[in-house]
Amino acid sequence: MQFTAEQIAEALEGTVEGNGEVTVTNVSKIEEGKTGTLSFLANSKYTKYIYETNASIVIVNNDFKAERPFKTTLIRVKDAYMAFATLLNMYEQSKPRPIGIDSQVSIHESAKLGEKIYIGPFAVIGKNSTIGENVQIHAQVYIGNNVTIGAGSILFPGVKVYENCIIGKEVVIHAGSVIGSDGFGFAPRNHQEFLKVPQIGNVIIENYVEIGANTTIDRATMGSTIVREGVKLDNLIQVAHNVEIGSNTVIAAQTGISGSTKIGKDCMIGGQVGFAGHLEIGNETKIGAQSGLAGNVKESGKTLLGTPATDYSIQRRAMILQSRLPEIWHRLNDLEQRVQENEIIEE
């Protein structure tokens, strides 16, 4: 589809600076911009590219000030990154949704299917499961018994949802993710044996959650493992049994959350963060990548870094001091030698 700068600016409630009739048919990164494409500038590190890009239109923040001439048409908005994301969402939603049930599926006769759904080849839907309207279930998805999936949700190829799990509306689960597998529960019987503890709970995923590829969310030992509304999980995340993740929290890849940990709402958690079990993490907590948490963070709004995770400002100072340890060691060694020399002279 083709759009003019004026049409895009109207959709974004922005203003055009340059040729309002210039058209675009695709998008591009600003450093790789080509004629006929739309790009955006939100990170100051990429400002240099706006003076050389061939993108026909670039979305920028209202406060952008050019330091030298450029040839592209600008659309000024309050938040360039959010505006570009809005456009991509509009494009994604304009694409036709697949509808229909493939002939090579296994659907139990007791399952309840909503209208305008899509079920791809080799998908399996267990007994007494309920699939809401406009749901997309792609190839080789397994849905166990007594599962509920809300309207508008999308399960990409190879997703597995174990029995009794509940998935809300407009949830997106990417390829290879497993929802509701057994939690890691074993009771030590003696020094050489472990008795498996049956995991009889389920997983509840509330509305508007997105789960990345190959992420695993374990069923509760008893009760529910809960992912609250609006949570965004990256690829390759492990969520253990009886964990609860608060609404609108975002978690980056390779993070591991041990059993019964409760993470508050509106948290931001970097990649490869490790949580010990039975922790409580306050609302609006920010945790840097590769941090390790072994204790509670009950105060809201904390920013943490390192292992064990401590206040960001303290950890940064410690890291600076650590980088100076060789210098400090040499200075101490030199002082020690001088002290010893003085002692010998005095003797």
- Residue 173 has what pLDDT? 98
pLDDT digit string (tens) for 146-174? 999 999 999 999 999 999 999 999 999 99
Task: State pLDDT tens for residues 60-91.
Answer: 999 999 999 999 999 999 999 999 999 988 88
User: Could you tell me which CATH number the domain at 100-314 has?
Assistant: 2.160.10.10
Quick one: how many helices (H) and strands (E) in the chain? Answer: 4, 40
Which is nearest to 260 in space by CA: 245, 282, 274?
245
Residues 227-239, mean pLDDT to the nearest whole number:
98
CA distance 172 to 177: 11
| Helix orientation angle between 5-12 and 80-94, rounded to the nearest 10 degrees | 100
**Which among 108, 138, 174, 241 is annotated as catalytic?**
241
The helix (run of H) or strand (run of E) holding residue 81 is helix 80-94
CB 104 within 8 A of CB 84: no
Q: Could you give the CA distance from residue 241 to residue 231 in angstroms, rounded to a whole number?
A: 17
Write down the pLDDT at residue 54.
96
Supply 87's token pair: 């456009």
Level-2 CATH architecture, domain 3-94: 3-Layer(aba) Sandwich (3.40)
Q: Which helix (H) or strand (E) holds 313?
A: helix 312-323
Residue 345 has pLDDT above 80, yes or no: no
Distance CA 55, CA 24 (A): 9
The model's pTM: 0.87
Our answer to whether residue 241 is catalytic in this structure is: yes
Contact 183, 240 (CB under 8 A): yes
pLDDT (mean) for 225-253: 98
Grade residue 347 by pLDDT with cuts at 50, 70 and 90: low
Q: Which residues contact 183 (CB under 8 A, 6 or more apart)?
A: 199, 201, 218, 219, 220, 221, 225, 240, 241, 242, 259
pLDDT band for position 18 (50/70/90)?
Answer: very high
What pLDDT, in 10s, does the model give residues 266-321? 999 999 999 999 999 999 999 999 999 999 999 999 999 998 998 877 877 877 88
Quote the CA–CA distance of 181 and 159 in Å, as a whole number.
12
Per-residue pLDDT of 173-184, as tens digits, reads: 999 999 999 999
Which residue type is seen at 16?
A: V
Tell me: pLDDT of 48 over 90: yes
Check residue 346 and give its pLDDT.
Answer: 62
* Residue 263 pLDDT greater than 70, yes or no: yes
